[in-house]
Amino acid sequence: MAAQKKVQKNAPRRKKKRKSRRKRYDMSRVWMALGLLALVLLVIVGVTRHQKNKAVSADSPVTLSEVDENRPELDVELLTVNAYSRPGTALEKVNGIVIHYTANPGATAIANRNYFENLKDTHTTKASSHFVVGLEGEIVQCIPTAEIAYASNDRNSDTISIECCYKNEDGSFEQATYDSVIKLTAWLCAKFGLTSEDVIRHYDVTGKLCPLYYVEHEDAWAQFKKDVDTYLQVYKTGDENG
């Protein structure tokens, strides 16, 4: 009888010990799971950083961080987020660069930028561009490259747009404008892993005569793309002499 009472007395202790062991076991499983999760996250972060900083091309010693360090000088004048010129919508992916001309001869880059900004108040149309290159080669950035611009119709979701100022009635660019557009286009190609084959005109999207000179002069457009290729070598090699 005494032995039975002793067994009954010790039973709660054994149960308590089993619960304690089970609790320690469960906690060890939790810590193991957390450790594995942390390891997976570290691997993902490492791979992501590597992808972001990998070379412009397989045979290039230059990284994207170095490309950004050598970008053209930008006057960043971002538009206010609004429904008419900067919707704030993320770009799905950058698959191309679209070249435009402003269709208002003599207007400056900042004037075109301000026109886009004022659309939030006038509501007259929906229009914008990521960049506007001015008559003296200045580059005004209106929209982050991670967002869409209202510039290229059904290609808004996967392209970056560049508006180009001009003086001449035929739509040809000033030399300073041309040089800056080439550098900007090449930089964007390097940054997003594109080639000159991914550089198109607004005309190629909609049939609109934009940029006018480079629609009416196919030879000039071919030379434009060659010049982009030439400058792109600067980013691929890190050498101004190609």
198 & 103 share domain: yes
**Phi, psi (deg, nearest 5) at residue 140:** -105, 125
Partners of 201 in beta bridges: 99
Domain coverage including residue 108: 64-237
Residue 158 covered by a domain: yes
Say how many domains are in the chain: 2
Q: For residues 236 and 242, give the distance between their C-alpha atoms in angstroms, rounded to a whole number.
A: 8
Strands in the chain per DSSP E: 75-76, 96-101, 131-133, 139-141, 159-164, 199-201
Residue 57 covered by a domain: no
- pLDDT, residue 7, reads 46
Whether the CB-CB separation of 88 and 190 falls below 8 Å is answered with no
pLDDT above 80: residue 198? yes
Q: For residues 242 and 238, give the distance between their C-alpha atoms in angstroms, rounded to a whole number.
A: 8
152 & 32 share domain: no
Residue 59 covered by a domain: no
Residue 140 covered by a domain: yes
176-202: average pLDDT: 97
Span 116-152, pLDDT tens digits: 999 999 999 999 999 999 999 999 999 999 999 999 9
151 & 211 share domain: yes
130 & 232 share domain: yes
Q: Which DSSP state fits 77? A: -
For the record, the structure tokens of 179 come out as 């040089």
Q: Examine residue 211 and say whether the peptide bond preceding it is cis (omega within 30 degrees of 0).
A: yes
Residue 27 covered by a domain: yes
104-109: average pLDDT: 98
| Percent of the chain with pLDDT strictly greater than 90 | 66
pLDDT above 80: residue 3? no
What average pLDDT does the chain have? 84
13 & 68 share domain: no
Residue 161 covered by a domain: yes
Q: What Å distances lie between residue 24 and 27, 28, 29, CA to CA?
A: 5, 6, 9
Which of the four pLDDT bands, split at 50, 70 and 90, describes residue 111? very high
Domain of residue 114, CATH code: 3.40.80.10
Partners of 70 in beta bridges: none
